[in-house]
Structure 1
Amino acid sequence: MNVWQVPTKVVAAKAAGTLICLLLVVYGWLAGDLRALILVGVAAIVLAAFTARDVIARVRLSADAGGITVVEGFAGRRRIAWHEIERIKVDERARYGLRTTILEIDTGDDIHLFSQYDLGEPVVPVAETLIRMRP
């Protein structure tokens, strides 16, 4: 069984960002700055949600002889048999001087997208592994 998960560094960075935002919320409250309090409070809530998802559903993709399991929704899991997968593809795009590489798993009804930050390693080797595993 192959398992791909969010790297510890990414989870730690999101947790640190959440902590910094919470400290800024306290500072905004003490300073009496309502706008900063609301803005940083929303940022703290969003970062906390992303951090919680990374902790609860750390494994984003796993594959074995029977098929793959992907994260669906906030922290749910969905099992997909190999015969349900229509296409496994790597999509590369350049935008604003940055290169983005995404793994696409197409089941016909749904497309599941994974980045390097979801998988913990570059997407091309993951796609090659999945293609080799697929009967």
Structure 2
Amino acid sequence: MLGNMDTTSSGTRQWRVPVALPAVKAGGAGALVALGLLLADGDPVRLTLAVLAAAALLVWAARDLLVPVRLAVDPEGLTVVSGFAGRRRLPWSQVAEIRVDQRARLGRSNAALEVDAGETLHLFGRFDLDADPVDVAAQLRAARPA
């Protein structure tokens, strides 16, 4: 399963957040405000908390719109998302290890792709990549020059 992997040019592949995810987050923000209005019952604290939570969801959705591509690979190295909306280029010489951390929690198995670049560690989940992190890790290892 390749998920939402894009091939932009020869040898360049990228993984991005699912297209519908920002809309789901924005819808959740609207639902929080509506719930806050419905349950506030004249209490400004309840409404304020609902609006703050909705604002946080909208900021999170904005990040998905500003930087939808979370990970890209080409023959020279990786490009990873860094900070809120930045990108960081990692030449293959800086990539120490590519691994998948799999854990069982609450009856479900969760996997996270870890890109170890020495002083920094970049983590990507299924909703960052729109693909299985195990498959992405295999593709990154295959793309890495010997």
- TM-score interval for Structure 1 and Structure 2 normalised by the shorter chain: over 0.9
Q: CA RMSD in A?
A: 1.4
1:102, 1:123 within 8 Å by CA — same for their partners in 2?
yes
Give aligned-pair identity as a percent: 42
Residue 96 in 1 paired to residue 106 in 2?
Answer: yes
What residue number does 1:127 align with?
137
Name the aligned partner's letter for residue 134 of structure 1.
R
CA displacement, residues 9-39 of structure 1 (integer Å, 9 cap, x when unaligned): 222211111122233455567x422122022
Q: Does the Cα contact within 8 Å between 1:68 and 1:80 map onto a contact in 2?
A: yes
* Equivalent in 3, 7, 14 of residue 3 of structure 1: 14
SS in 2 for 1:117: helix
Tell me whether 1:14 sits opposite 2:25 in the alignment.
yes
- C-alpha separation in 2, matches of 1:116 and 1:9: 14
User: What is the count of residue pairs matched by the alignment?
Assistant: 134
Determine which of 25, 43, 58 is the counterpart of 1:48. 58
Indicate the residue corresponding to 1:106 in structure 2: 116
For 1:4 and 1:25, the matched residues in 2 are separated by: 35
Contact kept in structure 1, 2:21 and 2:61, CA below 8 Å: no
Q: State the one-letter code of the partner of 1:13.
A: V
The match for 1:37 among 35, 43, 47 is: 47
Q: What TM-score, normalized to structure 2? A: 0.85
Q: Which runs of no fewer than 5 residues in structure 2 stay unpaired?
A: 1-11
- Do 2:98 and 2:137's aligned partners in 1 also have CA atoms closer than 8 Å? yes
Cα separation, 2, equivalents of 1:84 and 1:67? 9
Q: Is the contact between residue 92 and residue 101 of structure 1 (CA under 8 Å) also seen in structure 2?
A: yes
- Deviation, 1:87, is 0.2
